Structure 1
Amino acid sequence: MSGAGAPTTLADGHGLRVAVVAASWHQQVMDGLLDGAMRALAECKVEEPWLVRVPGTFELPVAAARLARCKIDAIVALGVVIRGGTPHFDYVCSAATSGLTQVSVTTGIPVGFGVLTCDDEAQALARSGLPGSEEDKGYEAASAAVSTAVRLRDIEKGWA
């Protein structure tokens, strides 16, 4: 299971400005990812996260790039791409991964990567955080984004 070894501690994100950008395709899976992300943000004491919905996973990087210009401390990107019979899967997965990485590295704003890239719907459901799921990738992505934002804030203050 890919979730083995995931960190269990949550950073105190009180005072952080966090945006969640989420795709709309595969509503059931996305509902689980969003619920998990919002639960993690609440547990990290992030108040009033900003939620932005985009049509699909391909649109996540451009939305994240725009959000990065809005004095955001962290971004959580959520999406799901399920393999089909054409190379479309590979193109969307590559574009989303590269684009979100570029946003994070060029802006210095952490982007929690909650994009599921699955062979079938069963794999997506198993990682969605819905009741009965094996993993909660929305929760993990939000936790990672907040934790990284806190560490970066500590570095800026010289507390690292």
Structure 2
Amino acid sequence: MSGHGAPDQEIFDASGLRVAVVAASRHTQVMDGLLAGAERALAAYGVADARTVRVPGTFELPVVASALAAQGYDAVVALGVVIRGGTPHFDYVCNAATDGLVRVGLDHTVAVGFGVLTCDNDEQALDRAGLPDSREDKGYEATSAALLTARTLGEIAAPTP
């Protein structure tokens, strides 16, 4: 399982961070689990007022994440799922979403949590969605990673004494 070897994430007070979550709408059960995981992480880190924006699918995540980053959010969490089919569409969407979200982080110097599941089948997606029977909680993990990265960006941007 891909979660093997993942580090324990340090919980800290992130209540001062502005956070946005952008989530695809396709594959409702998986997306509901990813969003619930993101909400659990936000609560654990003390972020009470995150903005959530829904988009049609995973392909649309980067453009909306970029618009949110331009509004000054400290962290943007992108949540989506792409299930492999019988055409190259899977590869195009996965590559576009990944490349676009990396670009958002680099262009805006903002923490981007990558919570996009790229799975061969529905069972793999459900197993990573943070649902009661899931083995992993990628919504929580992506949000935690974004918050930790936002803290690090804030630390390195602060003037050195």
Scaled by the length of structure 2, the TM-score of the pair is 0.96
Q: Contact (CA 8 Å) 1:110, 1:145: kept in 2 or not?
A: yes
* 2: CA distance, partners of 1:11 / 1:142: 13
Partner Cα distance (1:91, 1:10) in 2: 35
State percent identity of aligned pairs.
65
What is aligned with 2:6? 6
Mapped partners of 2:11, 2:97: distance in 1: 26
Residues 32-62 of structure 1, C-alpha deviations (whole Å, 9 max, x = no match): 0000001101101112100000000000000
Give the superposition deviation at 1:5: 2.0
Q: 1:15 corresponds to which residue?
A: 16
Provide the secondary structure at the position in 2 that maps to 1:77.
Answer: strand
Give yes or no for the alignment of 1:132 onto 2:133: yes
- Which one-letter code corresponds to 1:112 in the other structure? G
Q: Structure 1 counterpart of 2:19, which letter? A: V
| Aligned counterparts of 1:23 and 1:33: Cα–Cα separation in 2 | 10
Q: 1: CA distance between counterparts of 2:105 and 2:12?
A: 19
Answer yes or no: is 1:50 the counterpart of 2:51: yes
- 1:98 — aligned with what? 99
In structure 1, the partner of 2:26 is 25
Cα displacement (A) at 1:17: 0.3
Query: 1:157 maps to what in 2?
Result: 158
Cross-structure match for 2:40:
39
Q: Which amino acid aligns with 1:3?
A: G
Check the 8 A contact 1:35/1:138 in 2, yes or no: yes
> SS where residue 41 of structure 2 aligns?
helix
Q: Which structure 1 residue ranges, 5 or more long, are not aligned?
A: none
Cα distance between partner residues in 2 of 1:81 and 1:36: 18
CA shift, 1:12, in A, is 2.3
Give a deviation string over 1:108-137, Cα, whole Å, max 9, x none: 001000000000000000000000101000
The RMSD of aligned alpha carbons is 0.9
Taking the aligned partners of 2:13 and 2:158, their CA distance within structure 1 comes to 16
Task: Return structure 1 stretches of 4+ with deviation > 4 angstroms.
Answer: none
Q: Which amino acid aligns with 1:68?
A: A
State the shift of 1:158 in Å: 4.3
CA-CA distance at 1:106 after TM superposition: 1.0
Measure, in 2, the Cα distance between the counterparts of 1:11 and 1:106.
Answer: 26
Judge conservation of contact 1:12–1:150 (CA < 8 Å) in 2: no
Which 5+ residue runs of structure 2 have no aligned equivalent? Answer: none
